[in-house]
Amino acid sequence: MVDVVVIGAGVVGCMIARDLSRFDLDVVVLEKEDDVGCGTSKANSAVIHAGYDAPPGTLKAEFNVRGDAMFDELCEELDIPFRRIGSLVVAVREDDMKELKKLLERGRDNGVSPLRIIGRSELLELVPNITSKAYAALYAPKAGIINPFELTIALAENAAENGVSFRFNSPVVDIGAGEDGALVVRTPHETYRSRFVVNAAGLFADEISRRAGAEPYTITPRKGEYLLFDKAYSDLNVVVFPTPTKISKGILVCPTIDGNLFIGPNSQDVEDKDDTSVTSEGIDEIIRGAKELIPDLPLGKVITSFAGLRAVSDNNDFIIEASRKVKGFVNVGGIQSPGLSSVPAIGERVVEILREEGLELKEKGDFRARRKRIPAFRELTNEERERLIQRDPAYGYVICRCETVTEGEIVEAIRRPVGARSLDAVKRRTRAGLGRCQGGFCSPRVIRILSRELDISPLQVTKGGKGSEILMGRTKEFIEPDGDHHAS
Amino acid sequence: MPARELVVIGGGPAGLSAAIEAKKLGVEDVLVIDRESEPGGILKQCIHPGFGLHVFKEELTGTEYAERQITEARDLGVEIMLDTMVIELTADRRILAVNSSDGLLELKAGAVILAMGCRERTRGAINIPGYRPAGIFTAGVAQYFMNVEGYIPGREVVILGSGDVGLIMARHLALEGARVKSVVEIMPYPSGLIRNVVQCLQDFDIPLLLNHTVVDIHGRDRVEGVTIAEVDQQKKPKLDTARHIACDTLLLSIGLIPENELSRMARVEIDGITGGPVVDQNMQTSVEGIFACGNVLHVHDVVDWVTIEARVAARGAAGFLRREKARRASTVQVTAGEGLRYVLPQKIDLGGELEETQKFFMRSLRPMDRARLLVRSDKGVVMSRTLRSVRPSEMISIKVKREILEQKGHLEISLHEGSERGA
């Protein structure tokens, strides 16, 4: 019997797990994929929004503003980069000003500060190559950028260090009530009896809720496509949004925390919750959209494209509540934008809901809130590098040349709690393979290290979990003996 | 900070050839820094023949070519530092490198030769739509897996792009028992050498689909197939021609990019067309004392030319090391005119050493069965030659007499289809 099962190891599930790890509880996180953050958490705009978008009175508005205020401390504790570089909503068409004023007012109602409308000259100082059509912008100087998968991984690591157990490749196939009032959660290999279940299954939260017999709702996957540019071609230092439309904040031009530039996302409802394919129409659309903000984008320097899916609920707001039908079951669904910005506040709220539902929360004496990130060789001073190499020579061997990632970092990423077991998992933890050559140089080397550290054959090393094995056999294995030789 | 005479960055064919030549020219202290565990660069995975016909006057495999160079370099006393990554280079030739045994190494070089080679263009560079599953490899990475590590990347393969590495891999995969279903090329002509099209595709009945491209990649975990389509003259796919090919692997052979991150750090001027440094006849870059050769400078078709170019760079560096100070006199700018993508070297330093004749390398923009190559100075056409079966995949080289260069001013080289002079 455990105290809480969290379904889903996205940023929301990992945040909840980490918040619960403060208390003397048995917590298990079940994840259908091979790693944390494999769904919406790894492919989104990575912006911590100021909080002027959502209408006052919605959960989105409330949690965005509260969550945003919690980010500085959270990132400091988890030792992950977070920069408040500011955001702009740019007015281009005549009616856009009306919309900016509406957003300004909404922002003030939601409690966002500072927030103001700036004219073209100030806009030009922030973005010298902004379109000549831009005449004003709503400026939120405290909006932030973060690496969302780094956040997810840091939360998971910290939760695991504090006793939370993570089970991967564990899709929930059944949830039911046990005889003693506990909930029974089944994966293909295991069965858990738990007093509480938190449904943080992202795109699949509706299916989990239905399976548990809790309140029905629908999650619609809404696809957003992105293009990522080579690091060497960006000096943008602010998030640039167009004036929003009804369904989306629009296609933005934005720096990542690691110094790349990206454009996107568009917004397209799709049928399939696994449809993260990129389309040529989508790429055309985001290029067109981004060029309306910044016409001289370095389009020849795109290093990759990707797509993510937003988990959109029926009422277009977050669903964060205890089920009235199934005792002990808590839904955390529909966490789309500003979901990432709201994450710390969602964690806090879910703990509160569990307490209200009868979970006894006794603080642990030995909770460790602080987690240290893997040393990033590329960011260190030469003195720090020397010290690191002296301690562990593997930090002197560069594996990924585009991002200057060393063997030491990769080994550390594999050996940590909730460690990397695939090429993509290493990439998300260290940036090896995220650079301009997209793993051309480092992937064979990372495969070798994964194979050695996990004590598996290179043939078993995957890109991102079972079924995505990279190599198909040893040489000479496929050669069929031809008739003549066979006969002899 | 230790001072070294000549530091060569990169121990592939360009770096080794330059180091060997520098030693022969009397440079005493030659250090080659390479990031891999063995020198030889990309040749280490080139187990096929076709190398060395010009330099060694016999046909070798890539590995044999490398072996000869490694042996010669070591015999001559070239120091080769392995498993070492150069992470910084400055315009005053300070080098920061790192490895696990020495930690950080700071060096001051009398002269530097850039020989970092190139990298492959990836899927992102051409925005192929679809999923991002396992089973998509650049041809060179697939070649590394097969020839160095001994693993096969796939059983049923489609190759996008007809670059030489892709063609070589098509044959190799076929020999390994994999099925190569198609080589798909967006251009109306193959981008690799004709001999490779014949020996690697035709001889193995592998279809080459020109004017085609991949418009979708299927499969979430592993590639399950690709959709290909014919393209129109603007290279836009004609969607009514789209068809599905089942495969588990997609290899990309869509071009090579000179790897000049270190050059940029040292503020070396980069040519927008070649992707490599702008150089003079001694392969000296815009930064004094920094030279470049091989694929870091421009992508070559045949390794022999890399060696020949590297020797020029070594002579330039040796000359630079002998002199107190470089003499920078007036320069002749050399540009690519009609019909040519680029010409190299891009400038002639008349204060530098000039041979009796100067060799220029260039690539055509499109195939031409018969073409007229014209060299124009400020005075008009000063030289012309007729060429047969010009292909963008094959480097053109011509020799220009010193007198022509000494006329100063500007030189334009152009290529005109047919035997008559263009309008």
Rounded Cα gap, residues A118 and A114, in angstroms: 12
Q: Give the model's confidence band at B420: pLDDT under 50 very low, under 70 low, under 90 confident, else very high.
A: low
Going by the DSSP 8-state scheme, the letter that residue B201 receives in this structure is I
Residues A54-86 have pLDDT tens digits of: 999 999 999 999 999 999 999 999 999 999 999
A274 has a chain B CB within 8 A of its CB: yes
A276 has a chain B CB within 8 A of its CB: yes
Q: Could you tell me which residue, A249 or A35, shows the higher pLDDT?
A: A35
Helix (H, G, I), strand (E, B) or coil at A459: helix
* The pLDDT of residue B326: 55
Show residues of chain B in contact with A278, CB under 8 Å.
127, 129-130, 132
Is the preceding peptide bond at B49 cis, omega within 30 degrees of 0? no
| A153 CA: distance to closest CA in chain B (Å) | 21
Show residues of chain B in contact with A470, CB under 8 Å.
134-135, 153
Show residues of chain A in contact with B133, CB under 8 Å.
463, 468
| A71 CA: distance to closest CA in chain B (Å) | 31
Of A305, A396, A401, the CB nearest to B127: A305
Q: Are strands A398-400 and B3-9 parallel, antiparallel or unpaired?
A: unpaired
Please say if the pLDDT value at position A482 is more than 70. no
For chain A, give the percent of residues with pLDDT over 90: 91
Which runs of E-coded beta strand occur in B190-254?
Answer: 208-209, 212-218, 225-230, 243-246, 249-252
Tell me the range of A174-188, A199-213, B379-393 where mean pLDDT is highest.
A199-213
Residues A305-316 have pLDDT tens digits of: 999 999 999 999
Q: Give the model's confidence band at B419: pLDDT under 50 very low, under 70 low, under 90 confident, else very high.
A: low
Answer whether A278 sits within 8 Å of B178, measured CB to CB: no
For chain B, give the percent of residues with pLDDT over 90: 88
Beta bridge partners of B285: none
CB pairs under 8 A between A and B: 152
Length of chain B: 423
Q: Could you tell me which residue, A488 or B295, shows the higher pLDDT?
A: B295
Please say if the pLDDT value at position A483 is more than 80. no
* A422, A428, A468: best to mutate for the B interface, most B CBs within 10 A: A468
Other CB atoms within 10 A of residue B63 CB = 17
Of A302, A385, A473, the CB nearest to B124: A302
- Compute the mean pLDDT over every residue in chain B, rounded to the nearest whole number: 94
Q: How far is CA B60 from the centre of its chain?
A: 19
Beta bridge partners of B384: B374
Told to judge if A49 belongs to the known catalytic residues of this protein, a careful annotator would answer yes
Matching residue, tokens 């005449």? A135
Least confident of B96-110, B279-293, B392-406: B392-406
Please say if the pLDDT value at position A144 is more than 90. yes
Which residues, at least 6 apart from B23, have a Cβ–Cβ distance to it below 8 Å? B30, B73, B76, B77, B78
Least confident of A49-63, A413-427, B347-361: B347-361
A98 has a chain B CB within 8 A of its CB: no
Of A398, A444, A469, the CB nearest to B144: A444
Half-sphere exposure (CA, 13 Å, Cβ side) for A486?
Answer: 5
* The pLDDT of residue A235: 86
Q: Which helix (H) or strand (E) holds A388?
A: helix A382-391
Q: Which helix (H) or strand (E) holds B292?
A: strand B290-292
Rounded Cα gap, residues A218 and A317, in angstroms: 12
A 199-228 → B contacts, CB under 8 A: 227-228
Show residues of chain A in contact with B127, CB under 8 Å.
227, 278, 280, 283, 302, 305
Show residues of chain B in contact with A282, CB under 8 Å.
129
* A280, A283, A385: best to mutate for the B interface, most B CBs within 10 A: A280
Residues A231-287 have pLDDT tens digits of: 877 789 999 999 987 766 799 999 999 999 999 999 999 999 999 999 999 999 999
A470 has a chain B CB within 8 A of its CB: yes
Rounded Cα gap, residues B229 and B16, in angstroms: 43
Answer whether B127 sits within 8 Å of A462, measured CB to CB: no
Q: Give the model's confidence band at A487: pLDDT under 50 very low, under 70 low, under 90 confident, else very high.
A: very low
Residues A352-373 have pLDDT tens digits of: 999 999 999 999 999 999 999 9
Rounded Cα gap, residues B407 and A470, in angstroms: 58
Please say if the pLDDT value at position B398 is more than 50. yes
A233 has a chain B CB within 8 A of its CB: no
Rounded Cα gap, residues A362 and B206, in angstroms: 69
Q: Are strands B79-81 and B30-33 parallel, antiparallel or unpaired?
A: parallel
Average pLDDT over residues B328-351: 90
Give phi and psi for A287, each to the nearest 5.
-65, -45
| B218 CA: distance to closest CA in chain A (Å) | 8
Show residues of chain B in contact with A441, CB under 8 Å.
119
Answer whether A464 sits within 8 Å of B248, measured CB to CB: no
Q: Which helix (H) or strand (E) holds B169?
A: helix B164-175
* The pLDDT of residue A231: 85
* The pLDDT of residue B215: 95
Amino acid identity of residue A480, one-letter, is E
* The pLDDT of residue B3: 96
| B41 CA: distance to closest CA in chain A (Å) | 12
Residues A18-33 have pLDDT tens digits of: 999 999 999 999 999 9
Average pLDDT over residues A161-185: 94
* The pLDDT of residue A247: 66
- Compute the mean pLDDT over every residue in chain A, rounded to the nearest whole number: 94
Show residues of chain B in contact with A280, CB under 8 Å.
127, 129, 215, 237
